[in-house]
Amino acid sequence: MNAAELLARCPVVPVVVLDDVAQAVPLGRALLAGGIDVVEVTLRTAAGLDGIRALSALPGLVVGAGSVLLPDQVDRVVAAGARFVVSPGVSRAVLARAAEHGVPALPGVATATDLMAATELGLTDVKFFPAGLLGGPDAIRALAAPFGGVSFLPSGGVSPETMADYLALPEVPAVSGSWMAAPALLRDARWDAVTERSATAIATARG
């Protein structure tokens, strides 16, 4: 699966910060029950890597790693089962290592200079981060204009209320955000709420 196929697979990608690896499998089942089959698990917590390993065992779920900053982390997440890599910015070293492993990588862009760096490397799919602070859908529309054929995954400040405005742009095949798997829901094992938020997000995306 390349990056474009990944973004076409699921219009809403939950960003997950795991406090405890025991949350991983019930979370994955709750997301799948709500119709979400792509998930990004960040390396922001110690449980992230084991969480990727645990979630990767769930049939039908495509698990990626987020907050990937260094090439060594690419080796570790791929060994744990990650099938894609997301970074907050553009790192040539991270992108090269992901390419060596044959996994798609979505670098974060915030400026036209970032986009030029990404397109120079042959990429056509990027994360737009932090989307809300950068100006939301209007910022993507303006930034995308000179870069024909680039697709954006907005992340950071995307909400159930704003997601449809992003998805209305032809350059935005999918959005991502943490609300479907908010840390408080995971801590309190509110798996029904994860499923409900996921199903609502999928319905909004399709609506």
Residues that bind ligand 3PG (CB under 6 A): 15, 66, 129, 155-158, 176-178
Give whichever of 129 and 147 is closer to ligand 3PG, judged by the CB atom: 129
Contact present, 48 and 81 (Cβ < 8 Å)? no
> From the CB of 155, what's the least distance to ligand 3PG, in Å?
3
Task: Tell me which residue of 136, 171, 121, 165 sits closest to 151, measured CA to CA.
Answer: 171
Is residue 171 among the annotated active site residues? no
* From 127, 161, 171, 196, the catalytic residue: 127
Phi, psi of 200 (to 5 degrees): -65, -45
Residue-wise burial string across 89-117, b where 16 or more C-beta atoms lie within 10 A, e elsewhere: ebbeebbebbeeeebbbbbbbbeeebbeb
* From 5, 40, 100, 120, the catalytic residue: 40
Is residue 127 among the annotated active site residues? yes
> From the CB of 160, what's the least distance to ligand 3PG, in Å?
11
> From the CB of 159, what's the least distance to ligand 3PG, in Å?
8
> From the CB of 64, what's the least distance to ligand 3PG, in Å?
12
Contact present, 51 and 59 (Cβ < 8 Å)? no
Residues in Cβ contact with 126 at an 8 Å cutoff, skipping those fewer than 6 apart = 106, 107, 108, 109, 114, 115, 118, 150, 151, 152, 153
Lateral strand order in the sheet of 125-128? 108-109, 125-128, 151-154
Give whichever of 59 and 178 is closer to ligand 3PG, judged by the CB atom: 178
Contact present, 102 and 96 (Cβ < 8 Å)? no
Give whichever of 80 and 180 is closer to ligand 3PG, judged by the CB atom: 180
Active site residues: 40, 127
